[in-house]
Amino acid sequence: MQQFWGSVKMLLPIPTAMSWSPEVIISLIVFAVIFFPFVLRQVNQYERGIKFTMGRYTSTKGPGWRLIIPVFQSMVKIDMRVKAVEVPSQDTITKDNIPIQISAVVYYRVVDAAKAFIEVENFFVAVSQLAQTTIRSAAGEVTLDELLSKRTEISARISEVIDEASSQWGVDISSVDIKDVLLPESLKRTIAKAAEAERERRAVIIQSEGDKMAAQNIADAAKTLDSVPGALHLRTLQAINDISSDQSNTTVWMVPLDVLEAIKGFGKK
């Protein structure tokens, strides 16, 4: 035990003439443990420390242990990591007077810790409120069809507006993503009926175009058979060959039209 206290006396920067007792050393250690948290502040890798001296901003400290003079100095730590703010559903009306609910997610990070703490009271709340008002305004400037089909362009436009305003607070907006667009139930049913009618219209058009092409092909084939001598007879023989392969009791006799024309000629004579 005496050897331990002797080692402690050698480490403490106090004149050797002083009388060191275990009680004094324990009191100093307890005092240091209690006092050091007020003097020594740790700034993590993802943080920046805003240092104030007698209420005035003096510097921004990076990661590490930083000495602070109690009473005269103070330090506030700001998180520099990317944050995601979920914007709650906003009730708004589109340009074509359709009521909707739109929600989004805003990704941002602090780039200037001093501005983020000094220029605005709470940058987290400020960014959230700014995103809500900007999203409502952006949704009111476009129609419902544009909002549903051009989400990427509208999100980029919202991001630019928010980033321009938040740059004064030392906050950089990474991106804004429109999360969901909720429509009234009556409007959903109307859109479903319109989509169904559109699909039926396309089906009728496709079927009519198919019938038109089939009729044109048949007409072209008839012209070819009529213009080439013997073509109709060969086609008739091919049809008879196809029918003869069927295992049925029905016998079909097919007479070429050329024979009928010849019979009509004999009748006139």
What's residue 3's pLDDT?
A: 45
On whether both 128 and 170 belong to a single domain, the answer is yes
In a domain, 207, yes or no: no
On whether both 96 and 54 belong to a single domain, the answer is no
Residue position matching structure tokens 């010849």:
262
Query: Alpha-carbon distance 123 to 117, whole Å?
Result: 7
On whether both 131 and 177 belong to a single domain, the answer is yes
On whether both 101 and 67 belong to a single domain, the answer is no
Which pairing describes strands 73-79 and 64-67: parallel, antiparallel, or unpaired?
Answer: unpaired
On whether both 41 and 108 belong to a single domain, the answer is no
Instruction: Answer with the one of 54, 79, 104 that is the final residue of a domain.
Output: 79
Query: Alpha-carbon distance 132 to 105, whole Å?
Result: 10
In a domain, 252, yes or no: no
What's residue 4's pLDDT?
A: 43
On whether both 167 and 98 belong to a single domain, the answer is yes
What's residue 8's pLDDT?
A: 45
Number of structural domains, the chain?
2
Query: Alpha-carbon distance 172 to 82, whole Å?
Result: 9
What's residue 91's pLDDT?
A: 87
Cα dihedral angle (66, 69, 72, 74), rounded to 10 degrees?
Answer: 30
Question: pLDDT under 70 in the chain at which residues?
Answer: 1-20, 31-33, 35-37, 230-234, 237, 239-269
What end-to-end distance do the CA atoms of the chain give, in Å?
Answer: 149
Instruction: Answer with the one of 145, 171, 187 that is the final residue of a domain.
Output: 187
What's residue 147's pLDDT?
A: 86
Amino acid at 237: L
Q: pLDDT digits over 196-239, tens only? A: 888 888 888 898 888 888 888 888 877 777 777 766 666 776 76
What's residue 260's pLDDT?
A: 61
What's residue 49's pLDDT?
A: 92
Q: pLDDT digits over 43-76, tens only? A: 999 999 999 999 899 999 999 888 888 888 889 9
On whether both 70 and 112 belong to a single domain, the answer is no
In a domain, 182, yes or no: yes
In a domain, 47, yes or no: yes
In a domain, 68, yes or no: yes
Tell me the pTM: 0.61
What's residue 255's pLDDT?
A: 61
Residue 88 CB contacts under 8 Å (≥ 6 apart), including other chains:
103, 132
In a domain, 39, yes or no: yes
Range of the domain at 147: 83-187
In a domain, 261, yes or no: no
On whether both 71 and 101 belong to a single domain, the answer is no
On whether both 104 and 163 belong to a single domain, the answer is yes
